[in-house]
Amino acid sequence: MKQLSLDNLRTFVSVIEQGGYSKAGEWLGRSQPAVSLQIKKLEEQLGRKLFTKVGQRHLPSTDGNWLYPKAKDLLQMNDAIFRSLTPAPLSGRLRLGIPNEFASTLLPGLIGEFSKRYPDVSLEVTSALSRDLLHQSRRDNFDLILALVNPDEQTQGELVLEDDMVWVGDPGRPLAGDSISLVLAPDGCMYRSRVIEQLKQQTRAWKISYTNADLTGLVAAIQQGLGVTALAKSSMPDNLAVLSHQHLPRLGTVNICLFNQDTQHPVVSKTLAEFIKSRLNS
């Protein structure tokens, strides 16, 4: 017997309510290609086109409008079942530490959905370099930490995802010239260290043209043609693209780990950790 994916239905409803694939991706904490793939799978399973493209907008088709209220009913019933079987509502203050780039790409959708489901939880988020979040002098300031760890580094954290570290740039600005211009975070950033380490092993000239700790600032610089950067593939913004060029060396992988600290609210912390893991592995 065929069964609908509630996850695909939730994405379908989000596209309609948020007004498009990109905004739905921001709300759900997923990339636009991931949203498109979920909609495609749902359409293939139902044998119907659920959206029509008008200009740059995706508008629900006749079948999409028919499905929308029924999908909402199914999702509400699913959520009601879990709320009813939850022993007690989650509450309390949770202090989350997260790398800057994931704060920009993962958090917007995750916070919206988490807060909607657990309105009595107060979430306090600090974004910084992984090195700073994990420093012994700061770790006790957090209940839960998401951080990047080198694959060869021993860690007490839970491995969530072994991700590719990739070169990232503006798709409309191909790599050109005799020198590689870099847009990087400050000293202490794992991406910066890995990039410099790999570029020192080859002969092509390179320079750091811009430094900023915030991903938004790095993206703006890239779009102004100041250079390229490196990120974990899962943290790449939709408006940038993975670059492949003979003069850009391979950067290897990076481990994305969760560190669940001693906390007064272990159930709340564990629940948020599961939210983060599901988003990163979707």
Q: How confident is the model at residue 228 (pLDDT cuts 50, 70, 90)?
A: very high
Q: Mean pLDDT in the chain?
A: 87
pLDDT at site 262: 66
Task: Tell me what the mean pLDDT of segment 129-153 comes to.
Answer: 90
Tell whether the model's pLDDT for residue 254 goes beyond 90. yes
With both helix axes pointing from N to C terminus, report the angle between 21-28 and 6-18 in degrees, rounded to the nearest 10.
Answer: 120
Tell me: the pLDDT tens digits for 142-195?
989 999 999 988 778 899 999 999 999 998 887 776 789 999 999 989 999 999
pLDDT at site 271: 83
Q: How confident is the model at residue 231 (pLDDT cuts 50, 70, 90)?
A: very high
Cα(14)–Cα(27) distance, rounded to whole angstroms?
8
Residues carrying CATH 3.40.190.290, the chain: 92-282
Residues 6 or more apart in contact with residue 230 via CB below 8 angstroms? 165, 166, 167, 168, 184, 191, 194, 195, 251
Whether the CB-CB separation of 239 and 200 falls below 8 Å is answered with: no
Which CATH fold topology does 6-85 show?
A: Arc Repressor Mutant, subunit A (1.10.10)
Q: How confident is the model at residue 88 (pLDDT cuts 50, 70, 90)?
A: low
Residues 6 or more apart in contact with residue 216 via CB below 8 angstroms? 104
Q: How confident is the model at residue 27 (pLDDT cuts 50, 70, 90)?
A: confident
pLDDT at site 86: 65
Residues carrying CATH 1.10.10.10, the chain: 6-85
pLDDT at site 87: 61
Closest residue by Cα to residue 101 from 271, 11, 222: 222
The listed CATH number (3.40.190.290, 3.40.50.1980, 1.20.120.160, 3.90.960.10) that belongs to domain 92-282: 3.40.190.290
Q: State how beta strands 179-184 and 158-169 pair.
A: unpaired
CA 262 to the chain's CA centroid: 25
Tell whether the model's pLDDT for residue 256 goes beyond 90. yes
Beta-strand ranges (E) seen in the chain are: 51-54, 57-60, 92-98, 121-127, 144-149, 158-169, 179-184, 205-211, 229-232, 241-242, 253-260
168 has which bridge partners? 229, 242
